[in-house]
Structure 1
């Protein structure tokens, strides 16, 4: 079983995690058989090591961590690679990969630019009209 872990910073604000969970829900809408869980670096539970352990206990044979960071600061450059290294030590028989932070992905940057310009996008990702 392959599983996706959406990884975000975390916050003391109990509503902060709602967009992260919304991404997980959209993944499930598009791919109902996909196993997807959310994990956080700090201030919000569950933590990445716990989510990985739970998924492995449930039968996951591969994990893909998707860092939901717009900026590629210390957490993405230093903390996350160390967490991935430790996960690989804790679960040596599991394939563990980590995507680049979403803020490094050109498709997201293009979408953010379109949003800022007031462009509407249809279901196929085609630009409709500008509101500006």
Structure 2
């Protein structure tokens, strides 16, 4: 028996070697475990998780707007259930975009503007929001419009309101009909050009003239466009609602309609498909732009043009 107060025997060379070996093995085990989390059982590296799709909506004081956006996001989830999907608002509604981005774990994200053309928000606000979230590798996607899927949704909304399908379009409506494409408006000439392009594509689809008009910030107004069509002998005129959701501007435009007024784009299936298409386009840029780093990505290097201020006040 060793006396209770006897000094312990100092470790020999073998004990020190064993301690060093144990530390080394622990380090190897930790590193190996970290690597194995990326490798499937058959030795193939697991794919990285997909970037989070962050839908960047404008925001509105009208409660119907938020309900509509949530319905649209539910459609997106139905189309791609495994995709991480979040919502952020530029203003007026919670969660704000800055809060949504701050809450995301470090990783990749794609901001898809729920906006219909180029303008201040995507050119300035969304890149700034991405830059304020340096823990994320972020891309700002192209705004929704112009795109044929938006024309598909606009056409469907007009038919729902009572516009005849093209194959049923009578001679009288071909001769006397027309459409005003009512949009929110923008001070950015690129945004106005995008709306005019959508009007041209809708005119090709309908077979009647379509004039772009704006609720604010640009001309012509909806009443002015209606008068312009009447001056051309087009007295059977519908108003197409080029808004993402109900709100003050959409209601104001509909009230001016001399005949039928279509509902806003809302949660139409074509809009949900277009959101995913814009997301997929932006995702492809992560590999090609990796060398530029997060800061360059956050400034929109991979993004296409930006979107107009399509707020429903």
Question: Shorter chain as normaliser: what TM range?
Answer: 0.7 to 0.9
TM-score (normalised: structure 1): 0.73
State the Cα distance separating 1:84 from its structure 2 match.
2.1
Which residue of 2 is the match for residue 126 of structure 1?
Answer: none
Which residue of 2 is the match for residue 70 of structure 1?
Answer: 116
Q: Which of 77, 81, 96 is the matching residue for 1:28? A: 77
Instruction: Report how many aligned residue pairs link the two structures.
Output: 115
Q: 1:110 to 1:40 in 2, by over 3 A?
A: same
Q: 1:107 to 1:45 in 2, by over 3 A?
A: same
Q: Is the 8 A contact 2:53 2:84 kept in 1?
A: yes
Which residue of 2 is the match for residue 108 of structure 1?
Answer: 149
**2:93 equivalent to 1:41:** no
What is the CA–CA distance in structure 1 between the aligned matches of 2:71 and 2:57, rounded to whole Å? 13
1:57-104 deviation line (CA, Å, top 9, x unaligned): xxx6211111000142222222222222222xx31xx32111111124
Gaps of 5+ in 1: 120-128
State the Cα distance separating 1:29 from its structure 2 match.
0.8
Which residue of 1 is the match for residue 65 of structure 2?
Answer: 16
Moved over 6 A (4+): none
Larger strand share, 1 or 2: 1
What is the CA–CA distance in structure 1 between the aligned matches of 2:157 and 2:78, rounded to whole Å? 26
Q: Which of 126, 141, 144 is the matching residue for 1:80? A: 126
Larger radius of gyration: 2
Which residue of 2 is the match for residue 97 of structure 1?
Answer: 139
Q: Which of 52, 55, 70 is the matching residue for 2:104? A: 55
RMSD over aligned CA atoms reads: 2.3
SS in 1 for 2:64: coil
State the Cα distance separating 1:42 from its structure 2 match.
0.5
Gaps of 5+ in 2: 1-48, 170-313
